[in-house]
Amino acid sequence: MGKVYLVGAGPGAADLITVKGLKCIQKAEVILYDRLVNPELLEYANERADLIFCGKLPKYHAMKQETINHFLIKHALQGKTVVRLKGGDPFVFGRGAEEAEALVENGISFEVVPGITSGIAAPLYAGIPVTHRKLSSSFALVTGHQQKGSDKDIQWEHLAKGVDTIAIYMGVSHLPLISEKLMDHGRPGTTPAAVIYMGTTGNQQTVTATLETLADKATAANVKNPSVIIIGEVVTLREKIKWFEQLSAADSVGRGYQKAQV
């Protein structure tokens, strides 16, 4: 019997993966990886390892979740060390829990290796803290889209009135609706807001505005997914403490290009 490691690859920059996550990649015999995994991480894989792409694009799945589960189980039953490499953290909008359930149901041994999630890391790289002693004592991580056929709506009223900072994943295409829902439920349209494209990478782009103007500004800047939307007073700190844009292109450690040695 083999073993499966559900590994978080981090928010984008290759050197933000955990040490344990990198060690799992190095010893894996099979790696199933997602679209948002930095391809540099696959360079650490054993040259004899099988690399299987199972990423998802908007409205298109290269591999259905049931098929991914099947491959995890199949290779583990063959006695192999399997890594399921997922962008961000395996249990934050990554279906890692569904995969863990499937492994349990089939008697497969597994471990979950946390990863840095983009809802925290992308704003951090944009100079926006999700919490701040004077501005934000709470924050929420929210998905910007719903599972097809789901009747479970986002709790807009609670988000609008009960949380200081909101980080929204996969929400760019629904940004006008998100802004409208939050304002309809009591969030002022003047609330500072930002959208961060490709956070932590050399392609990072940040657009700041207010809740009521963010959708138009993001469209004008042609911001696409993968992006994280941040709503809250903490966005006002960006101009003061933004640091990533100030780095020299030669600063490979800060920019996430340097190949880590483990």
**Separation of alpha carbons 174 and 153, rounded Å:** 14
Are 200 and 16 in contact, with CB atoms under 8 Å apart?
A: yes
Q: Is 153 a catalytic residue?
A: no
Are 162 and 186 in contact, with CB atoms under 8 Å apart?
A: no
Which residue shows structure tokens 């999700």? 130
Decide: residue 261, CB within 10 A, 0-12 exposed, 13-18 middle, 19+ buried. exposed
Residue in 170, 181, 183, 217 annotated catalytic: 170
Closest CA relative to residue 175, chosen from 238, 222, 120? 222
**Residue 52 has which token pair?**
């299987």
**Residue 223 has which token pair?**
């911001």
Residue in 3, 20, 56, 181 annotated catalytic: 56
Longest dimension (CA), the chain: 57
What HEC string does 192-246 produce? EEEEEECCCCCCCEEEEEECCCHHHHHHHCCCCCCEEEEECHHHHHHHHHCCHHH
Q: Is 20 a catalytic residue?
A: no
Are 76 and 111 in contact, with CB atoms under 8 Å apart?
A: no
DSSP code for 259: P
Closest CA relative to residue 75, chosen from 42, 38, 108, 27? 108
Decide: helix, strand or coil at residue 74. helix
Residue in 34, 86, 89, 198 annotated catalytic: 34
Q: Is 164 a catalytic residue?
A: no
Annotated active-site positions, please?
34, 56, 170
